[in-house]
């Protein structure tokens, strides 16, 4: 068994934060989403594929800020481009700067569904705007959704403080369950404006799923049959599984899509991209505006991120290293004999424990992630991880070995 980490400073900062901020920090970053008492609560710095906590412990960062870090932390070329923009041009003005057009042209050249784009800040901004666009375009009210789409009223899982009217026209279906979607469309299709779904299945706290043959194609066919807009939520997959997103990888082009996270290697930007006639409802039929959506620092960062991804074939490297890592982990999982699933290869690795009637899987999950964090590998029990370009083969080899050791410790305790 590995030794408990020194987390005194992290704990002190958490106690202080609870007096200042509800819960100390926003939900997904609170200790109950990890292993309370074992994981750090505050980070101090990050570089490349590693992160250092408030007590000086360094980890291989395989959560990557929940996805935005596609290359690595503190990338010099990206940060320099942003600093140059600050020094030489500025970034927050009453009207737009040319870099808006430059980024839009680049995105349109890469993403199959992108004929026009709108830049926002967060994934929730973009998924919510996509719904508004679809309703304005179709004149219909209902949304059918599949996956996590953010914290806005229409899709948030915790309904505290949310008016029932905000989600009464929102229906759900399960990933890879085409029959369920077909049944929903038969019942409600004439009033459905939008089907929004993740093209890769990654429901929270559940294993990652690839699409079954014909699933994505079937979703598009149903959308078109009933005159609904199909929107792919590519906040996690976009600019990670391919520069054109999962829609490019799987060869299914939606009518509209939303991108974020990996677009700018950590700088705050997302976008809605879609067919011209659909997007053009924003000319006058529907409205969107924000003081900060036009800030150009993340646009500059996004352009430089895309440039680096293309120039150095980074996504190929990520996929290759990620697959090698996943091959090792899969062998370790199989050899352990534990009731464990490993999914998400090669981009979004995730180790989950099969549920059982006694609830023993919860104890095993806590034990596994406790051993793993003590070995300085930062992954999350309830969310898949990510592979970044700056994760070296050595880093990933170490992470795979530590997963093997942590599984062995779980097995010892049975």
The domain limits of the chain are 8-73+313-412, 91-310
The contacts of residue 294 (CB under 8 Å, 6+ apart) are 93, 95, 96, 97, 100, 119
Helix (H) or strand (E) holding 366: helix 360-374
Local confidence pLDDT in tens for the 414 residues of the chain: 899 999 999 999 999 999 999 999 999 999 999 999 999 999 999 999 999 999 999 999 999 999 999 999 999 999 999 999 999 999 999 999 999 999 999 999 999 999 999 999 999 999 999 999 999 999 999 999 999 999 999 999 999 999 999 999 999 999 999 999 999 999 999 999 999 999 999 988 889 999 999 999 999 999 999 999 999 999 999 999 999 999 999 999 999 999 999 999 999 999 999 999 999 999 999 999 999 999 999 999 999 999 999 999 999 999 999 999 999 999 999 999 999 999 999 999 999 999 999 999 999 999 999 999 999 999 999 999 999 999 999 999 999 999 999 999 999 988
State the Cα–Cα distance between residues 181 and 146, nearest whole angstrom. Answer: 10
State the Cα–Cα distance between residues 227 and 216, nearest whole angstrom. Answer: 17
State the Cα–Cα distance between residues 15 and 12, nearest whole angstrom. Answer: 5
pLDDT, residue 204, reads: 80
Q: Tell me which residue of 413, 220, 386, 192 sits closest to 378, measured CA to CA.
A: 386
The contacts of residue 225 (CB under 8 Å, 6+ apart) are 185, 189
Beta bridge partners of 51: 46, 59
CA-derived radius of gyration, the chain = 22
Does the domain formed by 8-73+313-412 have CATH 3.40.50.9100? no
C-alpha to C-alpha distances, 133 to 181, 251, 287, nearest whole angstrom: 21, 24, 9
The CATH number, out of the four listed (3.30.1360.30, 3.50.50.60, 3.40.50.150, 3.40.640.10), of the domain defined by the range 91-310? 3.40.640.10
Q: DSSP readout, 13-30? A: HHHHHHHHSTTSS-GGGS
Q: Tell me which residue of 51, 123, 13, 78 sits closest to 309, measured CA to CA.
A: 78
State the Cα–Cα distance between residues 261 and 270, nearest whole angstrom. Answer: 7
pLDDT, residue 222, reads: 98
The per-residue b/e assignment along 257-284, b for 16 or more CB within 10 angstroms, e otherwise, is: bbbbbbbbbbbbbbbbbbbeebbbbbee
pLDDT, residue 250, reads: 98
Pair 223, 229: CB distance under 8 Å: yes
The two domains 8-73+313-412 and 91-310 share their CATH topology (first three levels equal): no
For residue 136, how many C-alpha atoms fall within 13 Å in the half-sphere facing its CB?
18
> How remote is the C-alpha of 330 from its chain's centroid?
23
State the Cα–Cα distance between residues 403 and 330, nearest whole angstrom. Answer: 10
Q: What is the sign of the dihedral through the CA atoms of 68, 391, 408 and 57? A: negative
The span from the first CA to the last CA of the chain, in angstroms, equals 14
> How remote is the C-alpha of 250 from its chain's centroid?
18
**Residue with tokens 């949310």, as numbered in its chain:** 162
pLDDT, residue 173, reads: 98
- The alpha-helical segments, DSSP class H, found in 284-343 are 297-311, 314-336
**Residue with tokens 């070296």, as numbered in its chain:** 392
Q: DSSP readout, 340-352? A: EEEESTTTS-EEE
Three-state SS string over 159-228 comes to: CCCCCHHHCCCEEECCCCCHHHHHHHHHHHHHHEEEEEECCCECCCCCCCECCCCCHHHHHHHHHHHCCC
State the Cα–Cα distance between residues 336 and 400, nearest whole angstrom. Answer: 13
State the Cα–Cα distance between residues 362 and 370, nearest whole angstrom. Answer: 12
Burial class (CB in 10 A: 0-12, 13-18, 19+), 145: buried
**Residue with tokens 């989403």, as numbered in its chain:** 33
């Amino acid at each position: 068994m590995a030794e408990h980490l020194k987390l005194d400073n992290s704990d002190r900062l958490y106690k202080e934060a609870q007096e200042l901020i509800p819960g100390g920090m926003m939900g997904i970053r609170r200790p109950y989403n990890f292993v309370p008492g074992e994981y750090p609560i505050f980070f101090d710095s990050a570089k490349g594929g590693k992160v250092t906590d408030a007590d000086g412990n360094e980890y291989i960062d395989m959560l990557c800020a929940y996805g935005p870090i596609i290359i690595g932390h503190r990338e010099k070329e990206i940060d320099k481009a942003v600093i140059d923009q600050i020094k030489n041009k500025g970034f927050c003005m009453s009207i737009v700067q040319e870099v808006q057009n430059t980024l839009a042209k680049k995105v349109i050249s890469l993403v199959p569904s992108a004929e026009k784009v709108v830049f926002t800040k967060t994934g929730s901004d973009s998924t919510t705007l996509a719904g508004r666009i679809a309703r304005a375009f179709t004149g219909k009210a209902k949304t059918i959704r599949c996956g996590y789409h953010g914290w806005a009223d229409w899709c948030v899982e915790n309904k505290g403080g949310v008016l029932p009217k905000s989600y009464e026209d929102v229906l759900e279906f399960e990933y890879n369950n085409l029959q369920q979607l077909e049944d929903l469309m038969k019942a409600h299709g004439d009033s459905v404006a939008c089907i929004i779904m993740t093209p890769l299945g990654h429901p929270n706290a559940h294993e990652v799923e690839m699409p079954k043959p014909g699933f994505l194609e079937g979703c598009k066919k149903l959308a078109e049959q009933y005159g609904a807009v199909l929107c792919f939520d590519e906040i996690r997959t976009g600019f990670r599984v391919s520069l054109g997103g999962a829609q490019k990888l799987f060869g299914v082009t939606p009518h509209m899509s939303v991108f974020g996270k990996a677009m700018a290697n950590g700088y705050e930007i997302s976008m809605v991209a879609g067919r011209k006639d659909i997007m053009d409802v924003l000319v006058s039929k529907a409205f969107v505006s924000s003081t900060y959506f036009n800030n150009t620092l993340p646009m500059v960062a996004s352009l430089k991120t895309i440039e680096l991804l293309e120039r150095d074939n980074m996504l190929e490297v990520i996929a290759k290293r990620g697959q090698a890592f996943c091959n090792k982990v899969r062998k370790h999982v199989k050899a352990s004999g534990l009731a464990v699933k490993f999914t998400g290869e090669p981009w979004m690795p995730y180790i989950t424990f099969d549920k059982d009637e006694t609830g023993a899987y919860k104890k095993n999950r806590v034990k596994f992630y406790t051993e793993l964090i003590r070995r300085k590998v930062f992954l999350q029990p309830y969310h898949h991880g990510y592979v970044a370009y700056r994760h070296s083969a050595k880093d990933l080899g170490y992470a795979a070995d530590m997963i093997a050791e942590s599984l062995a410790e779980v097995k010892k305790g049975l």
